[in-house]
Structures are given as C-alpha cells and as structure tokens.
Chains A and B, each alone.
Chain A
Amino acid sequence: MNHPARLPRRSFLKYLAAGASLPLIVRAQTLGLGGPAPSEVITIGCIGVGGQGNGLMGNFLGNPACRVVAVCDVDASRLEKARQRVNESYNATGCAAYGDHRELLAHPDLDAVVIATPDHWHALITVHAAQAGKHVYCEKPAATSIAEGRAMADAVRRAGVVCQIGSMQRSWGEFQRVVELARNGFLGEIKKVTVGLPAGPDARPVPPEVLAKGETPPPTLDYDRWLGPAPVVPYHADRVHYQWRWQFAFGGGQVTDWIGHHYDIAALATNVAHLQPVAIRAASARFDDIGAFIETATAYSFQAVYANGTVIDTASSNPGGTRVEGTKGWVYANRGVLEHSSEALRRIVIPSQGYTLSAGPRSHTDEFLAAITTRATPRCPVIEAHNVAAVAHLANAAFRSGLSEVRWDPTTESLVGCPEAEPYLHRTYRAPHALPV
C-alpha cells in the first residue's frame, strides 16, 4: 500500500529515482541568443490586472527577455496599482495605462499581450489581439463557449501568432511525470483514467436586504465595460472580482475553471488533447442553493468518451488531481503530490528518446517567451485548450439540461441528437460587441 508523500515541489525530482538525470533544458539562451539586445526584448501589454493578472504580470516583470510596457483594466484603482508596480519594477516611468483593450492593442511596438480578464472576455480580446498581430498568453479556460474557443483558435492560426493558454500544470514536474509515464508505455495499456476536480464553492448566502437594496458600481469600475459581451445583470460586489465564475453569464463554475488543469493532464496522458469527445456520459450534477449569485454546479460527475475508445472519468468526489491506471500500474499526481503504484514504477527514468514534455524552459511563462522567439508551438497551444474546454462546456450543457448523455460531432462541432442541450451551448453577445469568427 503506497502512502502518499506530500512533496515540496522543488525537491520532488530527487524523489523520482536516485539515478534520475535531469532532462536537458533548452532555453532561448541555448540557441546562442544570450541576453537579448534591446531590439529583441519582447514588449508586453497586460490586460486584466486583478488577482491572477497581477501574479502573472510578476512572472513577466522578473524576466529580462521581456518588458511590460502597458497595462489595461476596467477597474481604475487596479489599473493604477499595476502601472505603479511596473514602473517600480523597472525603476522607470513609462508604463502606459488603458481602460479599453483596443487602445492597448494600438500601443506602438507591442509584441505580445497577457490576458487575465474574467472568462467571458477571453475570446474577444484574444481574437482582436491576433488580428492585430500580437502574440497572446491567455488564462485558462480558453473561453466560455465552444464557438468562442473555435474563434480564438482560428484567429490565432490565421494570423500566425503564438498563443499559449495558461494551463501551467503542463510545465510542472509532477504532472509531466504522469503524462510521460503514460505516453511512454510504462503503465501498459491504459485501463482507467480518473480526474478529480473541486466541488463547491462554499456557501455565500446573500442577505435579503443586500439583494433588495441593489448596489451601484463603485466609481472606479467601468461596469459596462466589465460586462463586455455578457448580458447585463444588476451590479453587486459579490458578483464580480473572482466570484464571477459561479455565474453562467461569465464562467462555468468549478468544472470549467479546472478542466484546463487536471483534465488537461489526463487528456495529454491519453493523447486526446488534439481531439474533442464524441460523448459525455453518466453526467450528473447537484445545483445547491447556497447563494443568490451561485448558479453553477456544486457537485458533479461525468465521463468523457473519445472516438478512439479513451474514457476519462471526472468527478468532484474523486481525489483531486489526475490518476492514470494501466495494466502495469498507476500513477497519481496533484499539486505537490506524486504517487506511484510500485517502487519499480517510481524508479523508472524516462529515456530521453521517449516522449518527454520536460525539455524546454521550466516555467510556463518563460516557455511562452521562448516560443515567440522561435515561433514554435507553445506547450499549451490554444487549439488543445479549446478542445479541453469543450469538454467542460458539454458537461455543463448536460448538467443544465438534465440529460445524462450528450453526443457530439467533433468535426462539425455540433450536437448529435439531444436538442435539449443546445440552448446551453450558445451565448448571444451583447450589442455593440460581436464575436469575430
């Protein structure tokens, strides 16, 4: 019986096997580019500088291969804080600040943008950025509907820019291990793939008097712009700034939020990230009344079935993380956790000529910058993120329509039968916005 070892991430590689050799890391510097000349520094604009955006921006601020030259947010106080942070970081004064992403996209000599807005804005900004010739790092999930994800993938492909989606677990050792063991055949024939995503959120009841009163947006927030293409809902502080993800107008709840992490790893491990499922089966969800602004499922489970027979079991009651089991054993990973079914499996070193994810820069954001330099396909390209997010959208459509099975045609990206699920796959953009296809 294998006992879980809670491993600090920095040292988990030592845990793998006493004889593990670290894979050769290839950085841009390895290609002889050395430190970037000023003309080669990648200029970046950060769109969406709230909780996640500010953290991402920090990664880029610390990297000499790039320079943050502009920030954009619909919340004026966050915008100002970000601008100051950038200037302090470079000990300079030149960071531009915009309230409208189209203005940021017109900033002179901008190479790339980092998008960390709420999900309902991802598609529009990514498409505009690609059409403007900018490389894109966009947070996961790709978007809030399959049509949006398709629009993003097509726009990126047509414009030839690099687009990395922030499924950064693809760059983390413990998850790379799951994928590498599975793809190199060390688990044997894959028999069972189990993904655990979070349940919840915790209850956030909204007192009746708060609902009745209604709220006006603070003067620093351009609420109309915050809503963007999403339908108008009355403003409440509890709806925006992180909490938006529990409302279908702006997100898809935990399943959409986390599909780009543990499920994405399972899809890579079973080599279906370039495909969409042909069916969602055994779908069931609980929608608990835990707050007026919490609409999304609080507990759920479903199976995603692919044309090649791969089945991925996903549930909020499964242990969080990704577990892949084959005829020769199983491996399980969560953040900072890695377990193998046997000591022999733990000691396996993936030979360098096998399938490996770990070559290349260790950090997800660094990898994005390296991909820009060589125009390489990044570690989590938008088309794969779109395919993975589609699973969440289909699952949510099943949950909301009460169907336990939904069938899907990946080629035409349309439902097969099950018209009851159709309404939940569509979003009508709010005028004046229109989705560029």
Chain B
Amino acid sequence: MHPTRFFPLVIALAATLGAQTPPPPPAAPAAKPTALAPLTEAERSAIAAALPARARATPAHPRRVLVFDRTEGYVHASIPFGDEALVRLGEKTGAYTANVSAEMAAFSPASLASYDAVVFHNTTRLAFTDPAHRQALLDFVAAGKGVAGIHAATDNFPTWPEGQDLIGGVFHSHPWRANDVSAIKLDEPAHVLNSAFAGRGFWVREELYQIAGPYGRDHQRVLLSLDMSRPENARPGDALKRTDGDFPVSWIKTRGAGRVFYTSLGHNKDIFTTPEILQHILDGLQFALGDLSADATPSASLRTQPTPALAPDDHTPIQNRPVAVSTPVAPEPWAELAAYTPARQPEAGPRAITRLLRGLPPAERIAFEPRLLAILNSPSAPLAARRECLHLLALTSGPGAVPALEKAASTAELLSDACTVLTGFATPEADAARLRLLESIREPDGRVTVINTFITSPRPAALKTLAAAASEPAPVGPAALESLASLATPDALRVLLKLPRKGDLAASRRAALVAAADRALRLAPSPVQRRAATRVAETLLGEAGTPTERITAARLLLSARGAEATKTLLPLLAEPAVAADLARALALLADARVLTLLKDRLANLPDTAQLAAITAAGETHSSVAVPFLLHSLASATPSARPAAALALGRCGDTSVADSLVATLAAPGPLADAAREALSRLPAPATEDLLRDRLAIAAGSETRAALLRVLAARQDRATFPLAVSACAEPDANIRAAAFETIATLVRSGDLTAVTALEPRLQKSADRREWRRALFAATSLEPDPADAVRTLCAVLAAPGTAERPTLIGALTLVTHPDADAALRSLLENPDAEKRREVVRALSTARTEGALALLLAHAGSSTASDERILALRGYLDTVANLPFLSRKRQVAGYREAWPLTERQEEKRAILDAVRHIKGSEADAFVKLHENELAAP
C-alpha cells in the first residue's frame, strides 16, 4: 500500500491547530436571539411530537438546569427551536426544570449555586472575561455539577484556555455544511449515551465541526464521530486539517467531581424535531446532571476498543426518517376506519388499526374484533372500509370472524377478499364456510374465485363439488381441474381420470392429470402413488398431442418407475422433438444399464439429444457415467466430443486422465474442453499423473496444455518444471511455461524469476514474466532483499528487461527502493534518465505515479518534464483500480505542472470522460485556461 506516496501533499499542520489563538476582541454585546421570530404553533407541536416519553434515569433530586443562549458572535436561527426543545425535554420527562438566560449575571457564584447543570446552547464567541465568572464555572464543575454544550458551544472563550479545555475542544471550521448529508458512526454502539441510536450509525443533514484545540481521545470518551469510511464525508483539498481522520461529534468527560457532555449537532432546526437526537441530548444532560451513570473513561484508555457501528448504506438523513406523514394524527382511528374510502389516506384509519393490532400479542387482539364486526355490519360503512375490516379480521381471528367472512362473501365486490382471509384461517370452521360458498355461489367469476382458494389450500371434503365443477365451461372448469390436481389424493386422481379427454378440454385435462399424479408422487413417494402415476403416465403417453405433453408423460413415468421405465420410453428417442429431453432425463438417472442403452444408441440420436445426454451425465457427477462418456468422447458428432470431455471432468477420476490427455493435441474445441476437464479432476492423484505425462509427452501442444492445467490446479510442484521449460526452444511451450510461473509464483521466488530474464524471447513470454516479476516482488517478505535482487539484475550487463525491472522496483515500499529509483532518475546521462522515465510510464503502479509527478515538477530538462508528465497522465488514465475521485485528484495535481497547451488539453479531455460533480467542477474551473486551438 502506498497511500502516502500517491498523495505527496504535505499535511503537517498539527502544529497550527489549537495553540494559536487570536488576540481577544473587545467585549461584545450579546446579539439577542430573541430578535429571531418566535415559534409557530406547528413548530412547537413538531418539537413536542419528537420528545421522548420518559427519561432514561430517575433524577436523584429535582434538578434545575440553566439553558444559556447568549451569542456574542453568529446567531443560529435554530436557537428558538433548541431553547424550546431543551426546556420541554426536562419538563415532559421530569428530568429537570430549565431557565433560559442570556445574561452573564447567571454565572455569579450565587446564581450558579442554584443550578445542577449549565447548557451552553449555541453560544458564540463568549468572551467570558470576568475572572469571577470563570472561577465560578470551574468550581461548579469541579464540585460535582455538570456542563453541557450544544453545537457552537465549542466556539467560545477565545482568551480562556481553561474554558475551552472544560468543554473539551475548539471549533476550527465546518467542512460539513448545513445542507450536506454526512455519515455518522457510533464509536461505541453499546454506550448508554448512544442508546437512542439502537446500535446503528446514521446519516444526518447538518453542519458538523472539525474540532481542534484541547480535544483528544486520551482526554474524553467519544460517542459519535464522522464515519470517514464514507466518501461522501471526504472533503477536497486541504479543508481537513487533521491527519488522524478523527472528527468527533459527541463526547463526554469528567472534570473533578463533575461531568461534561458535548454534541456538535444543533445547527439545523430539524435537529430539534428528530426523536433520536432529542433522546441523545436528554441522555447527555442526565449524565451531566449525575443522574444517568455512564462510563467516561477516555476512549484511548479503554482496554478493549469497541467496534464502531458505521453508517448504513441507506443515506436517508435521520431527520427524514419517516414516522408519520404530514397529515395530522387521527384522534379516532376507528372512526377513520369506519369511514375509509380509497379517496382517503390509509394511515389514519386502516393502517393505524393494523399497527395497533400487529403490536399486540395474538391473545389480546381478539378484544377488538367486535369493533371490526360492527363496521362490517353497519349499513352506512363504505365498501372499502368493510374490505379493510375483512383483512383486519385475519389479525384478530376471533370467534366472529368466519361467520362474518362468509356473510361478506355474499357481496360480489367483497367475495375475493373474504375468500383470501378465509383461506388463511385453515380451520375446520373456515373450511366448512368455503365449502358452503363453493356450493352456493353460482355466478362463474364468483365460482372461480372460491375454487381458486381450493388450489392453494386444497381440502378433500370439497372433492365432490369440485368434481362436478370440472365439467363446467371455462373459466370454472379449468379452475376446478387445477384444484383437483392440487388435492392430489387418489380420489381426486380417479375423478380426473374419469373426465373424458376430448376436444378443446383434452389438453388441460391431461395437464391436470399429470399435475395431480406428479404432485402426489412428490409429496408421498409410496408404492401406491407410484402405481397410480405409472398408470397415468402410460395412458397419456398414448394420448399426448404435443411433444411437450409426451415429454411430460415420459418424465412422470421416470419419476414413478425410474430406470425400469426405460424400455417403454426408448421408442421415443426416435422422435426428434422429444429425443433431447428424454435423453437428458434418462442420463440423469445415473443408472448403469440405462447409460449402456444410451451408449449403444448414441450414434443414431440427433445431435441435440447427444449433447443433452452427455451434459446431463456430467451433471450427475457420478462415476457410473464414465463408460458412457468415454464412448462419447469418440463420437462421430463433432459437438459431442467436447461435451463428453467436459462431462468426464465432472464424473471421472484420475483413471480417465489419459483419455483426456490424448486429446490435448486435437484441434480447437476438444482440446479446450479436455483442458477444462483435466483441471477439474480430483486432486491430488491427478497432479502426480499429469506431471508424469508432462515429463514423457512429446508434442508441443500437449506439453503446453499440461503446464497450463497444472497451473490452474495450483500445483506448486510444477514450478521447477516450468522453470526448466522456460529454456525450451518451442515458443508455445515457453509461453505456457512463463504463464505457469506467473500463476504459481509464491513468496520467495523473486530470485528464481529474475534468473529467467535471459530466457525471454517473444512478447508472450515477456508479458507473463512481467506478471510473475510483479507478483514475486509484491510477495517478497524482505523489501530490502527485493531491492537488492532487482538492482543486481538491473546492474548486470546484457539485461534487456530494464523497464520491467524498474517498474517492479516501484512496488517496493522501502527507503532502499526510493534511493535506487532516485539515483536512476538522477543519472547524469540524459538518455538514461529518459529511459527510466519511459519505464516508469509503463509500470502502471502507484509508486511510479508519485515518481513521475515529482519528476515532472523537479527535472531541470524541459523535455524530461514533459515526458514525465505525459507518462503520469497516461498512468492516471490506466491505473487498474483508481476511483473516479482519485483520478480527478490525480489530474488536479498535474495541472500546475503543465507547461504546454497539449498537456492541458489532454488533461481536460481525460477529465471530461469522467463522470461526477468533481470532474465537472474541475473542467469548469480550468477550461478557460486553454488557448483557442
């Protein structure tokens, strides 16, 4: 990993954070937050609706809290919201009573003594110059009282470091602005002050701070912080001063006997109408008050670091988490339900009741059934309301449900819903009701609806009625057929068999018959079912009208009788439309005798059938199929042979290897299939055999193929064999050998790989050798060793692959590698330097990237600078896994180094092809620097 190499920005601003404070401004008068408009009724209700029902801890004594909202700097428009929320939080839950003040007099020792905690609510630039106030506040906390800070509370006390230290940090800047949606993680999901967030990170639309000054995880316990693993939280350029990626949002600490809680949430108004955040603030306040005990050991001192709960993928800000739509909460959901029509929003009525019932244990839901029945029976209730009640009966499922559903079914518009709910009851009472409906409803669509319930929920008692219905015209007849098929009992089967299968109805009756037999067989494969299914199958084989019907009958017979059915079915192999599927089904039996029969007939089967049989045999993964497959390997049909080879790879063991090896020299598809098959045969006997064959094989194709197979099998023992094969004159074998080395290379192989350099002849060799070299370099355990090895080869006379070796050097993270590359780039010979630059340009590594950029800036020769820059741009465009963001950043870094229009144009052209706002912004910023062409 080379993150620091890629971004050679100097980020050493730690020293600039915190310690320096500007000279104290003259004491500023408070900018009164009361200049802001008072809250409307709706705003007050919204806050009220978000308040938690109770406090997490019971106060030890009645608590008094000072909410201090004085501003000597920026006035947050959210202050009235926060004031209201903070006051009402205490009032509603009994956690405390609060006063709101903006007067410094509140900090006289006498005044402070009457409070248990002080909340600095969006206070800004408080000078807090009076030494008596300062001491009073410090004593207040030291003696065991509490301080809380909301948002701008860290932007105060510019001349009072102890005050800043008390809060635990100083506002530096807010790279995350009020409209940005940012990801927040729970540093400690299980901490009690994070309980409001239920163990999950979240997103928030909020202005969030970068904290500087006396902040540190060794001083305080961090609860929430920015989840910097999310790219949305990243900020461009040097906006983020901290190098440690630690951007806290909420924390607690102790000071003497007292406690401090701070959260930077509180800029946007809707923070104060978000239930989870208000809960979090209340918990923090109760901690500060000393009522809610929570561990405040500094985060860095924890023996076991907690696993943070990161932000989820769903970016919905926590303020937008929907709880209720903006329509007012219905005062009486039952009245709403009773009046419900599709023209009304469902939340107030049906959904509210659903939620109510669903939240109760089943035993308690029954109590509400009479109210549902009342609406059902009410003549003035709209149809839609009654329909909703039917579905709600599924939740209450009390004694009155089934009768009410049966009664509702007499209304045509409610029949379907009533049926659905009745089906869900699965009780004898509900079954009886369905049966009565089946017998009483005469209208065709209605009959179909009731019959449909017997398809997914069959009942033997309905047999007689369904049997009669099966003879009715469509749509009733076909539906009844399906319900009989679904019943799948012997009686149902008998009924279906008796139905005459003539004319238009023949096909659907046959289908129902098959379905019934097949279903019965699947659910209960007993001898009785087998006999019944056999009879059905044999009957239908004779009657079947289409090839698909014949296939279906054949498959049923096979399901019923297995291999014994083969004799009956063999004649079907002569029918081309059926042969492929039948051959497949027969082969899937994995029966030796059946496979022998197939083997004998293979040559007479159409090509598609051969393929189907062979492929199916392969899917059985059974050694029983091997003789059949070996025979197929010699089939006259060209497409059968590769299929057979593939299948052998799945069914065979090492004993089939030689048959496959023999085909490695065959042209085209067969050899490919044989390679694939050999790479699948079971280990380890196969590797031994293949290595053996490699030693004695004569042909170039075969030996090359064997090497590749052994490589795919990850056979390490082949590595030395491949090394020797690199010396072969045959280009094919040599290419395979280098490929094999690249695939099998392991840690410690670097010397062996570099030693192969003289053997390279063709570009295929070079390509694979480069892959091997890069892998071996990355895997080398000792980086210094890697550098030594690579440099030794570089220095040796006659080394041709210098560019590749230089590229490999850029992979090593070690000062020796840096030194070696630097000295290469500082070679007094300009041509040699250019060679190095070109080598770096083709390396495609992050290390090369950094070096090219540096050289593009620092080289004294302008042609070298241009060469390096172009190499850099090329690499940015082609580096394998560079994100869009990093690409744009890469181009941005190069821009100041462009000396010519050509490079500027090249960069802009490249960035124009990158999608996203960062790329667009870059183009807009720089495109006018291009001279007109």
Chain A positions within 8 Å of B, measured between CB atoms, are: 3-8, 11-12, 14-15, 17-21, 23-24, 26, 29-33, 131-133, 145, 147, 154, 157-160, 196, 198-200, 202-203, 205-206, 208, 211-214, 231, 233-234, 287-292, 298, 316-320, 347, 349, 351-353, 359, 373-377, 400-402, 412, 419-420, 422-437
Contacts and interface: CB of A to CB of B under 8 A. Distances in A.
Interface stretch (B65-73, B217-225, B351-359): B351-359
Given A351-B683, A374-B612, A435-B452, A6 B423 contact: no
Given A21-B712, A289-B351, A431-B449, A317 B555 contact: no
Q: Which of B326, B556, B880 has the most CB of A within 10 A?
A: B880
A431 B880 contact: no
Given A349-B743, A353-B680, A428-B416, A131 B511 contact: yes
B345 A206 contact: yes
Contacts of B395: 401-402, 420
Contacts of A377: 619
16 contacts: A8-B881, A14-B881, A18-B771, A18-B775, A21-B743, A26-B673, A30-B642, A32-B639, A200-B316, A213-B343, A288-B321, A376-B615, A426-B456, A427-B456, A434-B478, A437-B515
A174 to B, nearest CB: 12
B500 interface: no
Main secondary structure on B side of the interface with A = helix
Contact of A431 (B323, B445, B585, B642): B445
Interface of B: 200, 229, 231, 310, 312-314, 316, 320-327, 342-347, 351, 354-355, 357-360, 362, 394-395, 397, 416-417, 419-421, 423-427, 444-449, 451-453, 455-457, 474-475, 478-479, 482, 485-486, 511, 514-515, 518-519, 522-523, 546-548, 551-552, 555-556, 580-581, 584-585, 608, 611-612, 615-616, 619, 638-639, 641-643, 646, 668-670, 672-673, 675-676, 679-683, 686, 709, 711-714, 739, 742-745, 771-772, 774-775, 778-779, 880-881, 883
B323 A288 contact: yes
Given A133-B548, A159-B551, A374 B615 contact: yes
A431 B880 CA distance: 57
Given A26-B646, A426-B457, A428-B423, A401 B358 contact: yes
Contacts of B639: 31-33
A302 to B, nearest CB: 15
Contacts of A375: 580-581, 584, 608, 611-612, 615-616
B444 A423 contact: no
Contacts, number: 281
Contacts of A437: 455, 482, 485-486, 515, 519
Given A198-B314, A287-B355, A316-B314, A30 B672 contact: yes
B198 to A, nearest CB: 9
A356 to B, nearest CB: 8
A353 B679 contact: yes
A290 B321 CA distance: 10
Given A31-B669, A375-B616, A402 B880 contact: no
B555 A158 contact: yes
Nearest to B672: A30
Contacts of A12: 881
A422 B426 contact: yes
Contacts of A154: 515, 518-519, 522
B514 A158 contact: yes
A231 B514 CA distance: 29
A419 B880 contact: no
Nearest to B324: A289
B668 A198 contact: no
Contacts of B679: 24, 352-353
Contact of A6 (B347, B451, B883): B883
A419 B421 CA distance: 12
Contact of A420 (B397, B514, B580): B397
Given A159-B548, A420-B362, A412 B881 contact: no
Given A287-B355, A351-B712, A31 B643 contact: yes
Nearest to A432: B475
B229 A15 contact: no
Given A374-B643, A431-B475, A158 B552 contact: yes
Contacts of B420: 423, 426-428
B740 to A, nearest CB: 9
B713 A353 contact: yes
B685 to A, nearest CB: 11
Contacts of A14: 880-881
A297 B652 CA distance: 49
A200 B358 CA distance: 20
A158 B518 contact: yes
Nearest to B771: A18
Nearest to A22: B712
Nearest to A28: B639
Nearest to B673: A30
Contact of B676 (A20, A158, A212, A359): A359
Nearest to B424: A423
A429 B450 CA distance: 9
A397 to B, nearest CB: 10
Given A376-B619, A402-B358, A436 B771 contact: no
Nearest to A430: B416
Give 9 closest A-B pairs by Cβ, nearest first.
A423-B424, A18-B775, A432-B475, A133-B548, A431-B448, A352-B679, A434-B479, A402-B358, A431-B445
B448 A432 contact: yes
A31 B778 CA distance: 39
B322 A290 contact: yes
B673 A31 contact: yes
Contacts of A426: 420, 423-424, 453, 456-457
Nearest to A212: B343
A5 B881 contact: yes
Contacts of B774: 18
B351 A160 contact: no
A132 B351 CA distance: 43
A213 to B, nearest CB: 8
Contacts of A320: 313
A432 B584 contact: no
A289 B314 contact: no
Contacts of A347: 779
Contacts of B452: 428-429, 431, 434-435
A351 B322 CA distance: 49
A420 B313 CA distance: 33
Given A31-B643, A32-B641, A431-B445, A298 B672 contact: no
B449 A31 contact: no
A433 B641 CA distance: 47
Most buried by A among B326, B452, B670: B452
Given A24-B672, A289-B325, A349-B714, A200 B451 contact: no
Contacts of A19: 742-745, 771-772, 775
Contacts of A317: 200, 312, 314
A15 B425 contact: no
Given A158-B555, A317-B200, A376-B615, A400 B358 contact: yes
Contacts of A289: 322-325, 347, 351
B650 to A, nearest CB: 10
Contacts of B474: 432
A288 B351 CA distance: 10
Given A18-B771, A231-B417, A427-B456, A319 B552 contact: no
B880 A423 contact: no
A319 B310 contact: yes
Contacts of A199: 312, 314, 316
B572 to A, nearest CB: 12
B722 to A, nearest CB: 12
B548 A131 contact: yes
A211 B638 CA distance: 65
Nearest to B447: A431
Nearest to A414: B426
Nearest to B455: A435
